[in-house]
Amino acid sequence: MIKNINCIICPLSCEIKIHIKGQSHITKISGYKCKKGKIYAKEEIISPKRILTTTMLTSDKYNPLVSVKTDKPVPKKLLFKIIKILNKKKLKAQVKIGQIIIKNVLNTGADIVSTSSI
């Protein structure tokens, strides 16, 4: 099987072809123009990761939502579990940009941080 992906690591947006045998045995990677592209392609097949960006509820009546994100990519398969955790939590009115909201969410090594202040 051949999987085609567009690399998102740099502005070149290389079109990478990944030759896969079975579920995740990579036999060949082509089309990348840098080492980072090759690493991205491997990770995208073996263990895809994403940065989660979303909002959380606050107790502030004028600013009922604050934007948050993970400070590093987390396994794609955990995104909805993390969102469920965030949806159960309501933040107090004063939140500062960069403030850690949840440390090491789901033992991923990533923190949930505020990307705005209220």
In a shared domain, residues 42 and 62 = no
Give the residue among 89, 83, 57 at the shortest CA–CA distance from 70.
83
In a shared domain, residues 67 and 106 = yes
In a shared domain, residues 29 and 80 = no
In a shared domain, residues 15 and 65 = no
Work out the number of other CB atoms within 10 angstroms of the CB of residue 41. 23
In a shared domain, residues 60 and 104 = yes
What gap in Å lies between CA 40 and CA 48, rounded to an integer?
9
Contacts of 74 (CB under 8 A, 6+ apart): 49, 50, 51, 52, 82, 105, 106, 108, 110
CATH number of the CATH domain containing 87: 3.10.530.10
In a shared domain, residues 35 and 72 = no
Q: Would you write out the chain's pLDDT as a tens digit for each of its 118 residues? A: 999 999 999 999 999 999 999 888 999 999 999 999 999 999 999 999 999 999 999 999 999 999 999 999 999 999 999 999 999 999 987 899 999 999 999 999 999 999 999 9
Total number of domains in the chain: 2
Q: What is the domain range of residue 39?
A: 2-46
In a shared domain, residues 61 and 107 = yes
